[in-house]
Amino acid sequence: MRNTIRRSIPPIGFLYEEELITPHEETELIAEIKKLPLKEFEFHGYLGKRRVKSFGLHYDFADASLNLAAAIPEFLLPVRERAAAFAGLTANDFPHILVTEYSPGTPIGWHRDKAVFEDVVGISLLSSCLFRLRRKTEGGWERSTINLEPRSAYLLRGPVRADWEHSIPPVESLRYSITFRSLRR
């Protein structure tokens, strides 16, 4: 029988910061996001419950390609700067931005971001959620869970990015996220 090992500290390469943006900035971002033409997430013919919009670049799961998407709107540029500073990068290091809406009851299953991407920064808006991490070991699963608060940011880099999967169980209330991804060199 396999065991589960629970970590009290996040894996190497995971960085978290509360209040990366102010409540006022969050309110302005949400107002702009609500105007976006969000569409159900498509994955190999399956429509997910979450709704998304890509900017800069778009990853197409149907043919595993990276394509040009809509230009990054002005309202996302300041938060991209903040995400880049948090990650020790420049804003131009994040050519891909994904805005996601999670309605109540919406999860995101276990996954790793596609290998074409390197660092991942996520910013949570409106409500908190559990951010679960896991990796397979010889004896079972090693797991860690972090509560992502509104206006907080996380970074996935190095070992946590390469060796761990992540997921979000069904959210309790409406939540938005803005995810920034750099390209693998």
pLDDT tier for residue 72 given thresholds of 50, 70 and 90: very high
How many other β-carbons are positioned within 10 Å of the β-carbon of residue 147? 11
pLDDT in tens, 16-27: 999 999 999 999
Sequence-separated (6 or more) residues with CB below 8 Å from residue 54: 69, 70, 96, 97, 98, 99
pLDDT in tens, 121-163: 999 999 999 999 999 999 899 999 999 999 999 999 999 999 9
pLDDT at res. 1 = 44
pLDDT at res. 74 = 98
Q: Are 26 and 178 in contact (CB under 8 A)?
A: no
The answer to the question of residue 82 being in a domain is: yes
The answer to the question of residue 167 being in a domain is: yes
- The count of structural domains within the chain is 1
The answer to the question of residue 39 being in a domain is: yes
Segment 88-96 mean pLDDT:
98
The answer to the question of residue 2 being in a domain is: no
pLDDT tier for residue 43 given thresholds of 50, 70 and 90: low
Retrieve residue 46's tokens: 């399956």
Q: How many CA atoms lie within 13 A of 111 on its CB side?
A: 9
The answer to the question of residue 133 being in a domain is: yes
Alpha helices in the chain (DSSP H): 23-33, 77-87, 159-163
Q: Phi and psi dihedrals of 82, rounded to 5?
A: -65, -40
Examine the pLDDT at 44 and tell me if it is beyond 60. Answer: no
The answer to the question of residue 1 being in a domain is: no
Q: Domain holding 138: CATH number?
A: 2.60.120.590
The answer to the question of residue 95 being in a domain is: yes
The answer to the question of residue 3 being in a domain is: no
Q: Are 50 and 174 in contact (CB under 8 A)?
A: no
Which structural domain range is residue 86 located in? 10-183
